[in-house]
């Protein structure tokens, strides 16, 4: 069974620090990888997508993908209290566009 695993946390970092979130996946043929942020009671919103090995940066966010080790991570620089949310890792392993979701990591940024 295809799985996506995340540390559920909670992860707590002080304001201005770097938050590091990790995700591993089981299916080697996985093609696309996503980080979503979800606030309580809201739908997920896309932070980053990545499909090539290496780093992808967008503002304060950097996604890192290592297909050989089957992990994808998200770094949040200069963390802000507004970054406090649950971060969901999702993986698309096939052509049917279905996403497989991790349980999410709860992040708290303390002022």
Compute the distance between CA of residue 61 and CA of residue 83 in angstroms, rounded to an integer.
11
C-beta of 76 vs 100, nearer to other proteins: 100
Q: What x/- string results for residues 21 through 50 when contact with other proteins is judged by CB under 8 A?
A: ----------xx-x------xxxxxx--x-
Q: Find where tokens 């349980």 sit.
A: 103
Say whether residue 97 binds other proteins (CB under 8 A): yes
C-beta of 19 vs 88, nearer to other proteins: 88
Give the three-class secondary structure for 14.
strand
Residue 105 · residue 11 · CB < 8 Å: yes
Q: Find where tokens 């780093």 sit.
A: 55
Positions in the binding site for other proteins (CB under 8 A): 31-32, 34, 41-46, 49, 51, 88, 92, 96-99, 101-104
């Amino acid at each position: 069974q295809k799985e996506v695993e995340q540390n559920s946390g909670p992860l707590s970092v002080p304001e201005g620090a770097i938050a590091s979130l990790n995700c591993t996946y089981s299916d080697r043929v996985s093609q696309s990888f996503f980080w979503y942020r979800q606030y309580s009671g809201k739908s997920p919103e896309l932070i980053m997508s990545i499909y090539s090995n290496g780093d992808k940066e967008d503002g304060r966010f950097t996604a890192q993908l290592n297909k050989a080790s089957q992990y994808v991570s998200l770094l949040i620089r200069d963390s802000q209290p507004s970054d406090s949310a649950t971060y969901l890792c999702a993986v698309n392993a096939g052509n049917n566009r279905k996403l497989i979701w991790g349980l999410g990591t709860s992040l708290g940024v303390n002022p």
